[in-house]
Amino acid sequence: MTVVARNLVYFVAAMLCLVMQLGCSDDSPDAAAQPAVSLTGAEGVAADAPASPSNDSAASSSTTSKPAEADEEAEVEPWDFSPYKVLVWIVSDDPRVNAESVRQPLQEFLDRDFAAVWRLDFADAPAAVANAASRNLGEMTYEAITASDPVVAVKRDHEDAVRLRTAANVGEIIQDVHSTQGMIDEVRRRAADAGDVSMDGVNDRLLPVDGDAIAVSKMWENPATEAILVSRGMALLLDDPEAKIIPLPLSGLVIEAIDSYDKIFVVRIDEDVAPATVSVVEIDTLMRHFGPVATQNFVQPSEMASTIGRTMIEAFAPVVRIEDAGKKNAKG
């Protein structure tokens, strides 16, 4: 009984001590903070204890940078899911039929099937493209439709040829760029349309020559001639030495459109025949590949937009380039 009584006394004493400790923790401010730490961990400490300025700035920067990074990542669309950037060039002898007149009905027709996969723009075809399409739509080539783009031709044996890459380089290095007055007037007008009348400094280097484009091309033979302003087609024919072609910041450049879109549809509308005819050629800009001509007819003017749309769909074809084809595999 003595042992049992002693154990009972110990148990009662321990219980009294526990009660006293709990009572003290309720009354003590220091003790009151302790359960908060044990229950909430680091968050409780951050909430109750004053944080250093460096911690605040770090927390703030991490909070603001993550949404910004998320937005930036969201803007980058995988190439295989991004829509085709499509340009429609309209060619017609009828001044009433142009890109503006067919834009809305043709957009509505194509959006039924391609709203999610095509981003469409419409424009009247540049003069070089319109002329080539009017002559023979099926015989168009990259060289033919870009031949009329004005360029600066610089001699490849020029002492600064390696540094001459852009129009700005021409403005800095070349003293005179020879051309006809007509060509100079044309590029100045198109430079103004593009919003850069200086043409990155090239405008101050332009020097008119008496005579036509042939006279300008003959100046190429003169060792004192550094550069001439001619069409791209003529620049490609220059030799002894060959020409280094420098593009200019101008409006209406065919090559600029080719570099800005995935697909270009050249649409030719012939209403002088009965029934009226829509002919379309697709240009795959990356491959510089011209597809076959697709043709459909229409009778009523109200059918024009839908006929153009159906002909474009017929002409459309994804293009794959195979660079290395083996017996069991291919790489493109």
Residue 11 within a domain: no
Q: Mean pLDDT for the chain?
A: 82
Q: Note the pLDDT tens digit of each residue in 107-122.
A: 999 999 999 899 999 9
Are 247 and 175 in a shared domain? yes
Q: What pLDDT is attached to residue 215?
A: 93
Q: What pLDDT is attached to residue 113?
A: 92
Is the pLDDT at 57 greater than 90? The verdict is no
How far are the Cα atoms of 5, 87, 283, 284, 330 from residue 323, in angstroms, in the given order?
97, 27, 20, 17, 8
Residues 6+ apart with CB under 8 A from 27: none
Are 135 and 264 in a shared domain? yes
Residue 176 within a domain: yes
Length of the chain: 332
Say which CATH number the domain at 216 has. Answer: 3.40.190.120
Is the pLDDT at 200 greater than 60? The verdict is yes
Are 108 and 231 in a shared domain? no
Domain total of the chain: 2
Are 235 and 303 in a shared domain? no
% of the chain exceeding 90 in pLDDT: 66
Query: For the residues 319-329, what does the mean pLDDT come to?
Result: 68
Instruction: Quote the domain boundaries for residue 215.
Output: 150-251
% of the chain exceeding 70 in pLDDT: 72
pTM here is 0.69
Are 185 and 105 in a shared domain? no
Q: Is the torsion defined by CA of 211, 217, 223, 226 positive or negative?
A: positive
Are 180 and 115 in a shared domain? no
**Identity of residue 180:** T
Question: CA nearest 31: which of 41, 40, 22, 39?
Answer: 22
Is the pLDDT at 97 greater than 80? The verdict is yes
Residue 246 within a domain: yes
> What values do phi and psi take at 266, rounded to 5?
-95, 115
What residues does 77 pair with on adjacent strands? none
Are 164 and 291 in a shared domain? no
